[in-house]
């Protein structure tokens, strides 16, 4: 007997740019902007857009080259799991490359998600348990990926529309709903998890030798030159991972997956979820994100209607292109904001509340993930209605 098709489908868009790549672009942009010719602001942001539907081919991703940021996304039966990790840059001063830690963490998260046993297609994955197993797996494998990272893990059940999150640190997310067509309204904003200003909760594996440069993966293996993937598990190793309660880390005051905050939301047709590292939310206000999202979602609806009226085949490429454009524009807004010295950025406002005198944006890696959730039955009904209207 074949499994029932999921009730929901999604379009998932990711966009990322490292602080280093952004700085190089900004330097060249400043030189070009002095010329009399119009100079559009187009930083080299990487974008990936995927349609998550029964009829489309899907390929998971376990890490990216996003500076000290990384992301992942996977599909396990009727679960779409995705998230970000942000390496803590302070480790650079000790000779440790925190990007290796963040990429390794997302690689382990992706592996846990893909290998989680689900008896039924509609069973849901628990993000906090994912984070626990991924971090315990890194410790059990004793990979020399040292440093720290914040983490945000999301799981959307395409069977029910239920979304669960596990957040450790200042990588946060926003849930938006469509109101009156595709006008967007923010329904939920997750709060940062901070010990004090600019000191977020984070997972940590400290160096075990006096030569932290050993934390870089060997260059002889090109596939893993920038991070580590999980080793093959035997029964003893799996038991070690299951029993890890991180008591040794808690004893010395380190944060652990146990400290992750869990949230749950019911997603409906047309809802949007935006998850990002602090490089976005330190520089772009939520109301700015809301306005950008509304602009693009209205354009998606308008272009789709025109396509139907012209009797052209609408294969969804218009939607995916524009949705990828939204992810790009949100990330580009963060870069545009953080190069402004006089901007009243969210980071500057929080700094003021903490007693610090700071103005302008905060240069950082920027990583954005956007998920657009749609009810398959409603989507089909809307398409039929549009086709009928086009014929009349």
The model's confidence at residue 55, banded by pLDDT at 50, 70 and 90, is confident
Q: Provide the pLDDT for residue 13.
A: 98
Average of per-residue pLDDT across 264-271: 96
For residue 4, the model assigns a pLDDT of 77
pLDDT value at 296 more than 70: yes
pLDDT of 184 over the 90 cut: no
pLDDT of residue 310: 55
pLDDT of residue 222: 39
pLDDT score of 362 more than 80: yes
Into which CATH architecture does domain 8-391 fall? Answer: 4-Layer Sandwich (3.60)
Q: Please name which of 120, 200, 210 lies closest in space to residue 159, comparing C-alpha atoms.
A: 120
In this prediction, what percent of the chain has a pLDDT beyond 70?
Answer: 88
Average pLDDT over the chain reads 90
Question: What is the average per-residue pLDDT within 209-233?
Answer: 62
Range with the lowest mean pLDDT among 1-15, 265-279, 317-331? Answer: 1-15
pLDDT at site 219: 43
Domains in the chain: boundaries:
8-391
Give the tens place of pLDDT for each residue, 123-144. 999 999 999 999 999 999 999 9
pLDDT reading at 215 higher than 80 = no
* Residues 246-267: tens digit of each pLDDT: 999 999 999 999 999 999 999 9
Q: Which of 1-10, 88-97, 271-280, 330-339 is predicted least confidently? A: 1-10
Res 172: pLDDT:
98
Give me the pLDDT at residue 212, please. 47
- Res 384: pLDDT: 73
């Amino acid at each position: 007997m074949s499994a029932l098709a999921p009730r929901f489908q999604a379009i998932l868009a990711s966009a990322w740019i490292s602080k280093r790549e952004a700085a190089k672009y900004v330097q060249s942009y400043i030189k070009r902007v002095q010329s009399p010719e119009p100079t559009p602001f187009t930083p080299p942001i990487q974008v990936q857009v995927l349609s998550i539907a029964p009829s489309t081919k899907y390929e998971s991703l376990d890490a990216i080259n996003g500076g000290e940021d990384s992301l992942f996304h996977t599909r396990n039966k009727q679960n779409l799991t995705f998230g970000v990790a942000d390496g803590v840059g302070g480790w650079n001063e000790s000779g440790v490359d925190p990007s290796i830690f963040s990429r390794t963490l997302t690689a382990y998260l992706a592996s846990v998600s893909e290998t989680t046993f689900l008896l039924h297609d509609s069973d849901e994955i628990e993000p906090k348990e994912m984070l626990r197993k991924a971090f315990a797996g890194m410790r059990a494998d004793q990979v020399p990926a040292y440093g720290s990272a914040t983490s945000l893990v999301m799981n959307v059940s395409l069977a029910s529309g239920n979304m669960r999150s596990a957040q450790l640190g200042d990588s946060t997310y926003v849930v938006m709903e469509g109101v009156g067509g595709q006008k967007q309204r923010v329904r939920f904003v997750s709060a940062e998890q901070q010990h004090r200003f600019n000191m977020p909760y984070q997972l940590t594996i400290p160096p075990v030798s006096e030569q932290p440069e050993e934390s870089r993966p060997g260059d002889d293996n090109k596939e893993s030159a920038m991070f580590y993937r999980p080793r093959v598990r035997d029964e003893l190793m799996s038991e070690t991972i299951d029993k890890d309660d991180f008591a040794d880390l808690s004893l010395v005051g380190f944060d652990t997956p146990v400290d992750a905050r869990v949230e749950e939301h019911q997603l409906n047709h047309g809802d949007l979820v935006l998850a990002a590292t602090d490089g976005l939310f330190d520089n772009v206000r939520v109301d700015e994100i809301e306005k950008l999202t509304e602009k693009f979602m209205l354009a998606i609806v308008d272009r789709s209607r025109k396509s139907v009226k012209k009797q052209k085949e609408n294969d969804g490429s218009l939607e995916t292109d524009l949705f990828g454009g939204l992810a790009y524009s949100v990330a580009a807004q963060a870069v545009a904001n953080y190069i402004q010295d006089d901007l009243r950025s969210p980071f500057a406002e929080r700094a003021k509340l903490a007693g610090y005198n700071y103005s302008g944006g905060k240069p950082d890696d920027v990583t954005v993930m956007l998920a657009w959730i749609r009810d398959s039955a409603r989507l089909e009904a809307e398409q039929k209605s549009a086709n009928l209207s086009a014929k009349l």
